[in-house]
Every structure is written in C-alpha cells, then in structure tokens.
Amino acid sequence: MHRYRSHTCGALREANIDQTVRLSGWCHRIRDHGGLLFIDLRDHYGLTQCVADPDSPAFKDAEKLRAEWVVRIDGKVRRRPEGTDNPELPTGAVELFITEIEVLGPAGELPLPVFGEQEYPEDIRLKYRFLDLRRDKLHQNIMTRGAIVDSMRKRMKEQGFFEFQTPILTASSPEGARDFLVPSRIHPGKFYALPQAPQQYKQLLMMSGFDRYFQIAPCFRDEDPRADRLPGEFYQLDVEMSFVTQEDVFEAMEPVITGVFEDFANSKPVTKNWPRISYSASIRAFGTDKPDLRNPLMVHDVTDIFRGAGFGVFARAIEKDARTRVWAIPAPKGGSRAFCDRIDDWAKSEGQPGLAYIFWRDDGEGAGPVAKNIGPNLTGMLKSQLNGRCGSHVRVPLPINEQESLGQLFAENFPVEVANLYRNLRPNGLMEGDAVFFVMGVPDKIYKFAGLARSKIGEELNLIDKDQFALAWIVDFPMYEYNEEDKKVDFSHNPFSMPQGGLDALTTQDPLTIMAFQYDITCNGYEIASGGIRNHRPEAMVKAFEIAGYGEKDVVERFGGMYRAFQYGAPPHGGMAAGVDRIVMLLCGTTNLREISLFPMNQRAEDLLMGAPSDVTPKQLRELHIRLNLPQD
C-alpha cells in the first residue's frame, strides 16, 4: 500500500465497502458523540467521515487529534448506518472505521477557523492565507478560476488563435496608469517597467506576421486598490488579430466569452445575441458606459415639463443655463414617503444635495413638495409619460451632440428580449404606489450620479434579476475628451485606437466629435473587456497624438518600436483584452476580487503573508546605485 494513501478523501463509494484503505488529509471537524468519535477527513478532492469507538485500536490516538492536524488513517470501509447518509457528499453513503492513525503534521491553535464559512477580519485572512485557502468556498473559487482559464484557452485555440508570451521587463510607458519600476543594476540610473498590458508587444506581433495572438497575460499597474480591482497585478485574456474589421473581432470573441459564461453559469441564462449599444446611448439611457441590463429602469428627460413650471429650483436653473436638464428615474412600487426619504438620505451620503421626488398615493394623487409646486396637471403628465416604452417624445440629452430618442435606442441597439424587459415594466405609465426621483444639472456633470441612482433604486426595489448574465457590446467611444483641469484635449481611452474616418477625420473634424473604433464588453454592471481597431498608419498616429498635445518627436521617443514598425508594412489589426479576474468574480457570485485570487494584497497594497513591500539592505541599494530620499515625518 502507498506510504500515505490508497485513495483520496473524495474517492470512496459503496463499491469500496469491506475494503481496507489508507487516507491522508486534514482533520476538518471532530465530533464526540458520547464515546463515539467522528473525524471528517479532508483533502483537495473531498471529505470522508472516519469513525472510532472505544473498541478501535486507534481510539486513544483519535482522542488526541485536533482541528487541522494532518494525519494518515487506515481502516475498513463500511456502509453508514441507516438514516445517516449524507446525500450532499459524494462519499456520503460510506464511512471509514479507523484501525490506525499516524500524525503527519500537528497544528497549533488556529488564528481563524477552516470549518464553516463565517466572516473573519480581512487582515487575519490575508496574513494566514494558506489557512483561508483551505476553506471550502474559497478553495472551490480558485479551482473554478483554473477551469475558466482552461475554457478560455480551449476556445481561443478552436478559433485559430496561437498563444505567445511577451516580456515582463519592458520600457516605462507615460500613458495610462502609473508604472511599477525596476532599477537596472548594470545600467545605473535607468529603469525597466513591469508591463501595464502587452499592448505594444501584441501589435508588434502583428507587424511580425503572426496573424492571431492570445495570452493569459499578467499586467501590473501601480493603482489604488478597490473591491473590483486588485492592487499591483491582474490577469487578462489578451487578444490581437490582423486584417480585421471591428465586426471580425466581434464575431471571433463573442462566442468565446459567451461559451465561457455558459460553461460556468450553473444554468443561469446568458445573453446569446449581445446588444450593441453606442457609448452615447448607454450614457443617455443608463447613466453609465457599463450598464447593468438586468435593471429595468431607464433615465428619462423631463426638462420640458419643468420649464417655466411652479417648482422654482428647477425652473430657475433651466432658465439660467440652457444646458441644464431635469432627468427622471422611475421607482415602481417605491411610492411611500419612508422609501423616498431613504433614497434622499442615500443621495446626501453620496455628496449630493438630495433627490427631489414625487410619489403617488393609492387615491392616485401625487405627493411631495415637487407635486405640490407643479400642480396636478403636470404631475399627471409625468405619471403617464414615464413608461416602459420610452416613446420618441422622451429624450435624454448628453454632452455628445447626437440626440436620439429612447424609442430609436430600442429599435437600433437592443434585441427583442432586452427591449421587452423595459417595455413590460410599466407600459402605460407609472401607477398608484409608484414614485419618481429627479436629478438636475448639466448632463456631463450629473450622468454618473444618475447612473448610481438608477442602480440604487433598482437594488432597493428588488427589480434586478440576479439569476442571469446580461452581456453587451458598448461601441463608438469618443476618441477625445476635454480635460478641464489642464484646459486641453486628451485621449478619452486608448490612444492607439483608429479614429472613425481615419486621417481625414483627424484633420477636418472637431476632435470632440470624433468617434473611435473602440469597444467594451459589459456584464451585469461591470466592464469585463476593452478593445479597439488600431491606428496603424504612421501619419494618422502622429496626427492623433498632435491633437492631444504631443509632437512627432514625443511619439518616436515614447513609442519608438511601434512607430518604426509602422514604417515597414503594417497590416490593419485590432483586438481586445478581457479581465480574467472580473469574469471569474462574476461567475463565482462574489463582488470582491480577493475571493477569487490566491494571494492578494490588502487595501493598502501590502502582502501581509509575505511581508511585502519590505526594506532592503544597504548593499542591495548600493548595487542598484540608489539612495533613499524618504519623506520626513
């Protein structure tokens, strides 16, 4: 028999009854039932119930065991007594009667329990991550992560992509997030950088004649952490393709992402025909460029109703600044003062002056200060117009110049099943027992808060169907935006994207009206991927950067390798990168990336397990030609 085990702790079945076997694992839980000891033995593969009674030659050894001791147990497999089967365990029909125990690794007093899934302080969980990872839910999340990555690889290869590994030590890039710098010992005063993404390398692979690239790529950004973005490092499914249009990228990647979600959705519905929603339409309808399409609420423009009406705060603001808009967010079944005041308090906690509202009593009368000021006629007009159909009379203006009705938005951007979600909510207008909240201001200043309010109201009223994965493409991002702080035009997103209209658009259009061949994938309110068709023409690349305030010299200095490559026959190319961590997070049903990552840092970007970042010795600093200039306390 093997030194440590003949079977794993998840392998025994009724077919093994009467066999003598050997198991090794951790003492998951120990129960004393009046002289009868039950030891749930756990390893990576599962759990087996082991039993010792006073007649067992190993009973005295079993009495000494404690939680998380590592032991070898020999014994005979037998059927569990009638009525004690555990159908939730694969091994639940049998148990192991113990004949011998060997302690392989005793454990001290545990700083956190492994049995159970009780909440525990994050600093303890991260410091003792090796114990935390033994807990069933987290252990399974990590295994699911590996299976998801396997599914991605398999599906990418089936689509004709080849896997390549790009360098980890590279040049610092001034664009995007802050770099992690690595000092060079043999080049004093110079630094490598850890790649924020393989962006330039994957484009250079296209210049080199490799047609379809992918990589499960580690990326490093010195950014402040948050729940849906880990500090330091993350992984992405990085993709690039030659001789493709935007449509080709969509056709290649949509089945990959859909298939991965279907593989791990546990029978929850997954969007099959993804809607394609323009950036401006998404902002207008949902107040965000990463909409949660499970939420059936939309933002409506009701400015005309308040123009010159009795509610002085809104009327005066509209008269003072023609850009001002009043946006309405319906709240079906939110028609109580208690609910409205709760949402108003939430708005104040978000740094807003509050949220004006109207709610309709059971007698059909509108209530609240807004209803009192504008009168029953206008209140009734609001009630009838705020419906699920969002007809052509309802407009939600944005800082984008295009003005498109939500009715057109449905026709052009949504498949029937998604459109029906909105149409069926309140097809004939709001009803008694409903409410509506109002956000007022200049659109480009208020749209983010309107999106937050839409999400908050949908959550509070349980309108969001949590048992589905709603995927969509967000397209037609603006190429540029105006930087109010620096009073200049900046790139809106990826500076390497091809502008729609090419060089002609760059030379003839107002930069703030230029759209880019850039796109995101969203799911349930998260951006899970971003990509674009690349600007592969040197003259167009230089012009694009000139508009953002960089000369040709800057382009050559900062992106010299790619700029040179464009001079020697550059194919049209494009791609995307999908966030592996966020996809795993969604499929595991959590909202914190630490629940799907092996050894994450804390919110202060510290590795409490390994003690990083740490001090280094004076000798190490001398070898790197570095002298510390620490801030004074």
Instruction: Give Cα separations from 264 to 141, 150, 313, 469, 592 (angstroms).
Output: 11, 12, 50, 11, 18
What does the pLDDT read at residue 167?
A: 97
The residue to which tokens 């009206």 are assigned:
513
Q: Are residues 310 and 456 in the same domain?
A: yes
Interatomic CA distance for residues 517 and 245, integer angstroms: 9
Q: 631 lies in a domain?
A: no
Q: Are residues 261 and 328 in the same domain?
A: no
CATH number for the domain that contains residue 252: 3.30.930.10
Domain extent at residue 351? 276-465
Regions in the chain scoring below 50 on pLDDT:
388-407, 410-419
Among 415, 448, 465, where does a domain finish? 465
- Do 312 and 400 share a domain, yes or no? yes
Please count the structural domains in the chain.
Answer: 3
Question: Residue 337: inside a domain, yes or no?
Answer: yes
Q: Are 523 and 469 in contact, with CB atoms under 8 Å apart?
A: yes
Q: What confidence score (pLDDT) does residue 402 get?
A: 34
For residues 220 and 303, membership in a common domain is answered with no
Q: Do 249 and 285 belong together in one domain?
A: no
Q: What tokens appear for 45 in the block?
A: 């593969």
Same structural domain, 58 and 93: yes
- Average pLDDT over all residues of the chain: 89
Residue 236 belongs to a domain: yes
Q: Is residue 371 part of a domain?
A: yes
CATH number of the domain enclosing 87: 2.40.50.140
User: Residue 425 maps to which CATH number?
Assistant: 3.30.1360.30
Is residue 211 included in any domain, yes or no? Answer: yes
Residues 60 and 207 in one domain: no
Which two structure tokens, joined as six digits, stand for 625? 């030609």
Classify residue 467 by burial, with Cβ atoms within 10 Å: 0-12, 13-18, 19+. exposed
Does residue 48 share a domain with residue 78?
Answer: yes
Predicted pLDDT of residue 228: 64
Q: What is the pTM of this model?
A: 0.90
From residue 26, give the alpha-carbon distance in Å to each of 36, 62, 98, 414: 19, 13, 15, 52
Which of 465, 488, 520 terminates a domain? The answer is 465
Same domain, residue pair 304 and 258: no
DSSP string, 270-302: B-SS--EEEHHHHHHHHSSSS--TT-----EE-
Beta strands in 224-274 (DSSP E): 232-242
Q: Which residue, of 465, 488, 513, is where some domain finishes? A: 465
Asked if 267 and 234 sit in the same domain, the reply is yes
Nearest of 529, 497, 491 to residue 511 by alpha carbon: 491
Q: Does 43 share its domain with 170? A: no
pLDDT in the model for residue 308: 75
Cα dihedral 514, 518, 524, 526 sign: negative
- Determine, yes or no, domain membership for 419: yes
Judge if 182 and 40 occupy the same domain. no
User: What pLDDT was estimated at residue 285?
Assistant: 86
**Structural domain includes residue 201:** yes
Q: Which residues are CB-contacts of 145 (< 8 A; sequence separation ≥ 6)?
A: 580, 584, 588, 596
521 within some domain: no
